[in-house]
């Protein structure tokens, strides 16, 4: 039986406010439509193939084909991540992925992103293997060496407004890698023939380093016609913005007034009817907000869980490179940088580890003299 029939509407969601306080900015909690931490299995049983939605939609998802939770978490507040990927290089429809698909928008409980002016998607991703392991071999074609041109990360399926059906591949908002570039795709109205999009200038594996966790965000402003991508809270250089098919008007523009048709994670077709575009990697802390997040909010949300607010480039230490970023875009973080200069932590360090690091000896006299000269320059700019 298909996943959307097995796991359609779940009324037994436990909303854990302490989890939200630790992982989500207070100002964003009311707009958090969907949140999957992969630490909240149904019934508390980590063998469960149902993951609880901690967002306001309370739409639980299925871990398909036995996709496992792995004790390799992206940040200190998490315990498990989800492993997705291709299990066979022949057509067997056994890819590890997750999600839910509804037969219609009327059945869907994904109400949070209908009739909104913006959507933002974010999460942690860790490609496994090396850069040759993504995308996977294409099991839908007879050619033995043919590969997919994409791999899916996290997205909301379009609804069925003026269409009469949902679709396991077509999206309302999506974070994906297409033709070797990290790509954000958004469809304002369900009936529009294609998605608006933007893509990274750099190859995906120069941004998502295989074997390392990174935090990615895609923001969609359906009213102003803007799409942006971020890594570890900072903007990714992008190109080829195309939103002409959003059919923007002079008034306020919204998404379709129908519930999203589903959620897909680590690949397409969350009804498990077919396999396409699997991501071979780990996924953690997925969030969908029903608003367009400003660059400052994206950065602040990342810093909430990164452990070091002064670490703007996401390399797990606070140094001169972060100072340059603060000069350019975030002068309000200067005090955090001053307090944390010289600190380095492991990617999964706990809050206790961070506090211990903060108590470490001061930098050398030479470093302090150098900083004393730099800080007035930063304040004056």
Looking from the CA of 198 toward its CB, the CA atoms found within 13 Å total 19
pLDDT mean across residues, the chain: 85
Integer-rounded Cα radius of gyration of the chain: 21
Rounded-to-integer distance, Cα 98 and Cα 73, Å: 17
Closest to 279 (Cα-Cα) out of 121, 182, 135: 135
pLDDT tens-digit readout, 342-354? 765 544 433 333 3
Closest to 3 (Cα-Cα) out of 146, 148, 116, 102: 102
Amino acid 20: pLDDT = 74
pLDDT tens-digit readout, 166-206? 999 999 999 999 999 999 999 999 999 989 999 999 999 99
Closest to 184 (Cα-Cα) out of 123, 132, 128: 123
Say if residue 288's pLDDT is above 80.
yes
Say if residue 369's pLDDT is above 70.
no
- Topology of domain 3-300 in CATH is Jelly Rolls (2.60.120)
- Tell me the percentage of the chain whose pLDDT exceeds 90: 68
Average pLDDT for residues 36-60, to the nearest whole number?
96
Amino acid 21: pLDDT = 65
- Report the range out of 15-24, 237-246, 351-360 with the highest average pLDDT: 237-246
- Across 39-43, 82-86, 332-336, least confident range: 332-336
Looking up tokens 């359906």, which residue turns up? Answer: 222
Amino acid 348: pLDDT = 40
Domain boundaries, the chain: 3-300, 307-380
Average pLDDT for residues 349-376, to the nearest whole number?
37
Q: What is the 3-state secondary structure (H, E, C) of the chain?
A: CCHHHHCCCCCCCCCCHHHHHHHCCHHHHHHEEEEECCCCEHHHCCCCCEECCCCCCCCCEEEECCCCEECCCCCCCCCCEEEEECCCCCCCCCCEEEEEECCCCCCCCCCCCCCCCEEEEEEEEEECCCHHHCCCECCCCCCCCCECCEEEEEEEECCCCCCCCCCCCCEEEEEEEECCEEEEEECCCCCCCCCEEEEECCCHHHHCCCCCCEEEEEEEECCCCEEEEEECCEECCEEEEECHHHCCCCCCCCCCCCCCCEEEECCCCCCCCCCCCCCCEEEEEEEEECCCCCHHHHHHHHHHHHCCCCCCCCCCECCHHHHHHHHHHCHHHHHHHHHHCCCECCCCCCHHHHHHHHCCCCCCHHHHHHHHHHHHHHHHC
- pLDDT band, residue 123 (cuts 50/70/90): very high
Average pLDDT for residues 17-21, to the nearest whole number?
65
Average pLDDT for residues 321-342, to the nearest whole number?
74
Say if residue 17's pLDDT is above 60.
no
Say if residue 165's pLDDT is above 70.
yes
Amino acid 335: pLDDT = 66
CA angle 271, 40, 207 (to 5 degrees): 70
Say if residue 9's pLDDT is above 80.
no
Amino acid 50: pLDDT = 98
Amino acid 339: pLDDT = 57
Say if residue 215's pLDDT is above 60.
yes
Say if residue 366's pLDDT is above 80.
no
Average pLDDT for residues 33-45, to the nearest whole number?
96
Amino acid 309: pLDDT = 64
Average pLDDT for residues 248-266, to the nearest whole number?
97
Amino acid 279: pLDDT = 98
């Amino acid at each position: 039986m298909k996943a959307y029939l097995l796991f359609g509407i779940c009324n037994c969601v436990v909303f854990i406010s302490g989890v939200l306080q630790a992982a989500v900015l207070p100002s964003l909690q009311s707009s958090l439509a969907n949140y999957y931490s992969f630490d909240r299995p149904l019934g508390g049983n980590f063998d469960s193939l149902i993951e609880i939605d901690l967002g306001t939609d309370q739409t639980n998802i299925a871990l398909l084909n036995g996709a496992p939770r792995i004790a390799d978490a992206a940040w200190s507040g998490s315990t498990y991540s989800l492993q997705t990927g291709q299990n066979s290089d022949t057509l067997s429809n056994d890819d590890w992925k997750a999600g839910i698909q509804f037969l219609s928008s009327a059945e869907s409980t994904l109400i949070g992103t209908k009739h909104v002016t913006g959507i933002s998607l974010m999460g942690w991703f860790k490609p496994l293997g090396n850069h040759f392991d993504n995308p996977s071999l294409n099991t839908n074609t007879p050619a033995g060496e043919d590969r997919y041109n994409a791999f899916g990360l996290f997205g909301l399926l379009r609804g069925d407004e003026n269409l009469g059906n949902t679709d396991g591949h077509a999206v309302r908002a999506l974070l994906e890698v297409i033709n070797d570039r990290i790509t954000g795709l958004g469809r304002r109205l369900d009936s529009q023939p294609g998605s608006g999009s933007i893509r990274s200038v750099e190859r995906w594996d120069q941004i998502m380093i295989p074997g390392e966790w990174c935090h990615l965000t895609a923001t969609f402003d359906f009213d102003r016609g803007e799409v942006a991508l971020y890594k570890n809270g900072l903007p990714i250089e992008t190109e080829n913005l195309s939103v002409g098919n959003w059919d923007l008007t002079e008034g306020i523009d919204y998404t379709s007034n129908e519930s999203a048709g589903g959620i897909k994670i680590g690949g397409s077709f969350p009804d498990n009817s077919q396999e396409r575009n699997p991501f071979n990697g780990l996924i953690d802390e997925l969030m969908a907000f029903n608003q367009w997040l400003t660059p400052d909010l994206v950065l602040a949300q990342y810093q909430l869980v990164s452990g070091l607010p002064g670490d703007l480039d996401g390399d797990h230490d606070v140094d001169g490179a972060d100072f340059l970023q603060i000069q350019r875009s975030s002068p309000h973080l200067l005090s955090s940088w001053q307090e944390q200069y010289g600190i380095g932590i492991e990617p999964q360090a706990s809050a206790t580890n961070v506090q211990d690091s903060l108590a470490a000896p001061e930098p050398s006299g030479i470093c302090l003299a150098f900083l004393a000269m730099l800080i007035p320059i930063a304040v004056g700019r």
